[in-house]
Homo-oligomer: A and B are copies of this chain.
Amino acid sequence: MVEKPKLSEVLAWSGPQIADFLSGIYEHSSWVAQELVEQSDGSTSCKLDGISTIGELANAMKQIVDDSSTEQKLALLRAHPDLAAKVESMRSLTTSSQEEQSSAGLQSLTPEERQKFTTLNTAYKTKFQFPFILAVRNATKYTVLAAMEGRIQNASHVEMASALTQVHKIAWMRLLAAIDVDNRKGFLTCHVLDTANGCPAANMRIHLHRLSPSDKAGFIDEFFTNNDGRLPNGPALKGDDPFIVGTYEWTFFVADYFASKGTFVSGVPFLDQVPLRFGLDDPDEHYHVPLLVSPWSYSTYRGS
């Protein structure tokens, strides 16, 4: 496996090297990466100036697409493979696209579903004049069919915005797959509030696991909340090694906490070990993932 270059290394390369490296981020549309490093008159672009995070790099490329003409946008959309052809051959796709627009689900279509898929796919192309694009890793056939059924009803100007959102999302996943983000600024924090008693949940036991990527999966750490209901020693994850883009899970030992507080919980508690499963998508952002909990209800949200 070829090692991924670090972001700081990529940013130190020459313009042509960068443009070459990023040429496949937008499907068959190397002009986006080209414009990132070079102006239309051939002089050097300053669009890389001031960029230090992968989010800023993604935004700079997105901005180029967003500022392009309607014709360029349509060309970009049309450069994407047709899902039907993909299901047939799996050959015409760039390797990246195979991963992001998994056809696994589509290969298990029943004859009836295949008929529905083909009809929708053809109608979609006829109506919008570009192929159906869906940026969902490991999308199942249910998701693909439901998305097709929903989006084919959109007005053309709405669906164009929708399709470009998918394209930007694919670009983001490709950037993360291509570049090793060092000096990550992101961190993960937590907070537990006891909504039955109106106070922070002190001394609650919490476990943190990483669920994906699979080669980094496993138990990470155990915490006991402090008197303010927060982790006792700062962020649960911080820095290059632990703060990895992927899926994580808190486990909150809720029944134990309420038992120790004297709040009634039933024999088989309605809430005992409460899992919160969440994704970290940007290696440079702060993710605050709290729990508001009573013995009979809870909620969570992306906080700040």
A17 at the interface (CB under 8 A from B): no
List residues of chain B with CB within 8 A of the CB of A123: none
Taking a contact as CB atoms under 8 Å apart, the answer to whether A271 and B267 are in contact is no
A73 at the interface (CB under 8 A from B): yes
Taking a contact as CB atoms under 8 Å apart, the answer to whether A259 and B139 are in contact is yes
Taking a contact as CB atoms under 8 Å apart, the answer to whether A143 and B292 are in contact is no
A1 at the interface (CB under 8 A from B): no
A178 at the interface (CB under 8 A from B): no
Query: Scoring A residues 229 to 271 as 1 if CB is less than 8 Å from chain B, else 0, what string do you get?
Result: 1000000000000000111000001011101111010111111
A89 at the interface (CB under 8 A from B): no
Query: Scoring A residues 122 to 151 as 1 if CB is less than 8 Å from chain B, else 0, what string do you get?
Result: 000000000000111101101100110111
Rounded to whole angstroms, the CA-CA distance of A193 and B247 in the bound complex is: 23
A60 at the interface (CB under 8 A from B): no
Q: How many Å from the CB of A271 to the closest CB on chain B?
A: 7
Taking a contact as CB atoms under 8 Å apart, the answer to whether A269 and B281 are in contact is yes
List residues of chain B with CB within 8 A of the CB of A195: 195-196, 294, 296-297, 301-302
Which of B139, B165, B224 makes the CB contact (< 8 A) with A264?
A: B165
List residues of chain B with CB within 8 A of the CB of A296: 195-198, 301-302
A16 at the interface (CB under 8 A from B): no
Rounded to whole angstroms, the CA-CA distance of A302 and B269 in the bound complex is: 11
List residues of chain B with CB within 8 A of the CB of A300: 297-299
A66 at the interface (CB under 8 A from B): yes
A41 at the interface (CB under 8 A from B): no
List residues of chain B with CB within 8 A of the CB of A179: none
Query: Scoring A residues 270 to 290 as 1 if CB is less than 8 Å from chain B, else 0, what string do you get?
Result: 111111011111100000000
Taking a contact as CB atoms under 8 Å apart, the answer to whether A278 and B270 are in contact is yes
A304 at the interface (CB under 8 A from B): yes
A28 at the interface (CB under 8 A from B): no
Which residues from 53 to 102 on chain A have a C-beta closer than 8 Å to any C-beta of chain B? 65-67, 70, 73
Give the nearest-CB partner of A203 in chain B. Answer: B146
A113 at the interface (CB under 8 A from B): no
Rounded to whole angstroms, the CA-CA distance of A136 and B279 in the bound complex is: 32
Taking a contact as CB atoms under 8 Å apart, the answer to whether B302 and A260 are in contact is no
List residues of chain B with CB within 8 A of the CB of A199: 302, 304
A155 at the interface (CB under 8 A from B): yes
Q: Please name the 5 residue pairs, one residue from A and one from B, whose CB atoms are nearest each other, closest first.
A: A198-B296, A299-B299, A66-B155, A297-B301, A146-B260
